[in-house]
Amino acid sequence: MCNPLLHIKCKAYCLLAKNKVINKLMNNANKSHSLMNILKPYLGVSSYLILLVLLSIGLTAMSAHSHNIDLNHIGDELEVVGFKDDRLLQSESKSTIKNSLNQSYTINFAANIPEDKKAKLYTWANHARKALRLVYGKLPVEDFVTIIKASKGGKGAVPWGEVNRYSPPEVTLVVNLDSSLEALKADWTIYHEFSHLLIPYDAGDARWFSEGLASYYQNITQARVGMFDEQTLWQKLYDGFERGNKQQNYAHQRLDYLSDHIGENRNYMRIYWSGALYWLKADIALRALAQKNAIPYSLDLALAKLQACCFDRYLSATEIAHKLDQLTESKIFTSLLSEFSASYAIPDYLTPLRSLGVEVINGQISINDQAIYNTQRRAIFIGLSKLSSKNAR
Ligand SMILES: [Zn+2]
């Protein structure tokens, strides 16, 4: 079983939000009166880690979790060895609901969540769990815990989310309680955080790899659960790749280096969307292989196999790529890992999109049903669970 030391090793942050710039960050920092928030924009990862260690030895007055950080779907993932934020745990667990139909479905509500809001939040979290189940028919981690806390002024329905790789993993979501159920469902945050659970990642290297997977699947799971149609799915992915392409102020640095120094360069768009493209290209390559060999390969199925074999340990990005190659009898994941790690800009995304039948004119995508991988594009949208049983193994 899992090493308990490893389970408090990795802490994944996804800093959210809807605005982009530093002065916005400063406004939020001023609002929160949090030393951590004031310092955060200026801190590198190493400095941040030192502060987190300080937090762990008793400086609990700082508010590392009062996040209004505004960076337009930004995130970072930190390796925090031996650190666990006790305040987070103390502030919830007052109310736990377990679904009698699914004993593993646990939501811990923070103490300040009113009783009359819980049914809505429960329905929302259940909806996102259903979306995650649409990757390969079951949850990657059956007993993960969802912690819901009330936002204190963050923007949007879900201003903050994070994944803690404890045993079982915990996904914390900070919500604006006045948001409607529909607004909560339409916010991508929960789909992103849940998608992080699809790989047993230890955050020790290649953050782009993990954030890319979450960025790719947050859109796919939303589409599969009915939040938007196929055209919108591909538009969202294309728009993300475009944002990644526009971030070129560190074009002298390789993606692997850039990703390791995300706290300093803040090139979230290039890092996240290069990662998302990595997984899309792997998905296309697998589905192309399936077409050639009449074997139902796909990224969904590869991840299902990874879950079956290897979720009793944390793996590095390189280890995951090797394992996925082994499971798919290919070299797709390691060869793409080498290519993407050494990239100085987001790799070409128009060619793979075009192969799927996703054409772009003036920034708007249209679907070409005559493309070579037309069927594969549809399958990415529809997902395994709705395909015929012969395709599902
Ligand atoms: Zn993330």
Asked if 192 and 214 count as a contact pair (C-beta separation under 8 A), the reply is yes
Distance from C-alpha of 5 to C-alpha of 101, rounded to nearest angstrom:
32
218 with 344, same domain: the answer is yes
Contact 97, 119 (CB under 8 A): no
CA of 371 to the centre of ligand 1 (A): 32
Domain holding 299, by residue range, is 207-391
Q: How many domains does the chain have?
A: 3
Boundary of a domain, candidates 146, 171, 198 = 198
117 Cα to the center of ligand 1, angstroms: 26
Distance (angstroms) between ligand 1 centre and the Cα of 390 equals: 33
Angle between helices 374-382 and 207-224 (to 10 degrees): 80
Residues near ion ligand 1 (CB < 5 Å) are 14, 75, 211, 214
Token pair in block for residue 37? 């928030």
Task: Judge if 344 and 228 occupy the same domain.
Answer: yes
CA dist 358 and 371 (Å) reads: 8
- Do 158 and 242 have their domain in common? no
Taking each continuous run of H as one helix and of E as one strand, the counts in the chain are 18, 9
Ligand 1 centroid from CA 330, angstroms: 27
State in Å: Cα 33 to ligand 1 middle.
25
Tell whether the model's pLDDT for residue 92 goes beyond 60. no
Least reliable range by pLDDT among 204-208, 216-220, 231-235: 204-208
Asked whether residue 259 is assigned to any structural domain, the reply reads: yes
Q: Are residues 164 and 94 in the same domain?
A: yes
pTM equals 0.76
Q: What is the DSSP string of 10-57?
A: EEEEEE--S---HHHHHHHHHHHT-HHHHHGGG--HHHHHHHHHHHHT
Q: Per the domain annotation, does 312 fall within a domain?
A: yes
Least-confidence region, from 44-58, 272-286, 325-339: 44-58
How close is the Cα of 291 to the center of ligand 1, in Å? 32
In a domain, 1, yes or no: no
Q: What's the pLDDT at 364?
A: 98
Average pLDDT, the chain: 77
The verdict on 81 and 95 lying in the same domain is no
Give tens-digit pLDDT for 104-137: 478 999 998 999 999 999 999 999 999 999 999 9
**Ligand 1 mean position, distance from CA 72 (Å):** 12
Could you tell me which residue, 48 or 188, shows the higher pLDDT?
A: 188
| Same domain membership, residue 95 and residue 79 | no
**The last residue of a domain, from among 172, 198, 224:** 198
Residues in the chain: 393
CA of 73 to the centre of ligand 1 (A): 9
